[in-house]
Amino acid sequence: MKNLLYKELKLVITPGTYFFAACALLLLVPAYPYFVGVSYTVMSFLINFGVARDNQDHEFTAMLPVPRNQIVLAKHLHVLILEGVTILVAIPAALVSSLLLNPGGNVVGMDANFAFFGFTLLGYAIFNVIFLPKYFKTGYKVGTPLAVGMAAYLGFVLGVELVVNVFPGVKAVIDGLHPVTYVPQFVVLFVGVVFYAVGMLWSYRLSVKRFDKVSL
């Protein structure tokens, strides 16, 4: 497994992908829709998985003495790492934005608070459970799985922004930077972490079942 992950990091994840993760620094921009900054990583999988397909990554790896479930696991770790890097970049950017640059809050979307990260993880979970199993149904088609997953992800984050900005009661509870809103925000963050973990596990198991049926 260690060697497969090393292969993903060195041969599949293109260096430019980390630029997409670095776009989370857009949280430093005042009056900017912060969900946009953490969304570029989702689009970067079109590049990486496309590179893997063009280089016949699965065909090569399947010839090695490794079970197919480890091939699936390596790809899931690939996704988890890039989404994790995005979150790690976003956290200090959110702190600087909320404490120094934009202490009054974001005027064009959710503030960079705990609930924001919970919703980001929920969005990633939705994308992952759609994109990865659909991708492993064939092991090479990237466009349609990514388009469907991306549409669901964007629909979710846009829905969150709509609900937060249309309903003052919701906005008062989960938006804002005041400590009085921390408890409900922590609840959203906890739910996001749990759903992300459960979604990754469910995606992995379903992907293994589908990939076992693929003829390479």
Total domains in the fold of the chain: 1
Asked whether residue 139 is domain-assigned, the answer is: yes
**pLDDT per position as a tens digit, 194-210:** 999 999 999 999 999 99
Asked whether residue 216 is domain-assigned, the answer is: no
* Over residues 170-190, mean pLDDT: 89
* Over residues 128-155, mean pLDDT: 94
The whole-angstrom separation of Cα 203 and Cα 76 is 8
Asked whether residue 123 is domain-assigned, the answer is: yes
For 59, 161, 169, 188, 189, the CA distances from 165, given in Å and listed in that order, are 48, 6, 10, 17, 19
**pLDDT per position as a tens digit, 30-43:** 888 999 999 999 98
Range of the domain at 83: 2-211
Asked whether residue 136 is domain-assigned, the answer is: yes
Asked whether residue 166 is domain-assigned, the answer is: yes
Asked whether residue 114 is domain-assigned, the answer is: yes
Asked if residue 59 has pLDDT above 80, the reply is no
pTM above 0.75? Answer: yes
For 86, 120, 199, the CA distances from 191, given in Å and listed in that order, are 19, 11, 12
Binned at pLDDT 50, 70 and 90, residue 89 comes out as: very high
Asked if residue 110 has pLDDT above 80, the reply is yes
The pLDDT of residue 118 is 97
DSSP letters spanning 82-136:
HHHHHHHHHHHHHHHIIIII-TT--SSS--SSHHHHHHHHHHHHHHHHHHHHHHH
The pLDDT of residue 216 is 66
For 69, 98, 131, 149, the CA distances from 124, given in Å and listed in that order, are 22, 23, 10, 9
The whole-angstrom separation of Cα 45 and Cα 7 is 16
* Over residues 83-102, mean pLDDT: 92
The pLDDT of residue 126 is 97
CB 193 within 8 A of CB 187: no
Asked if residue 2 has pLDDT above 80, the reply is no
Asked whether residue 20 is domain-assigned, the answer is: yes
CB 42 within 8 A of CB 124: yes
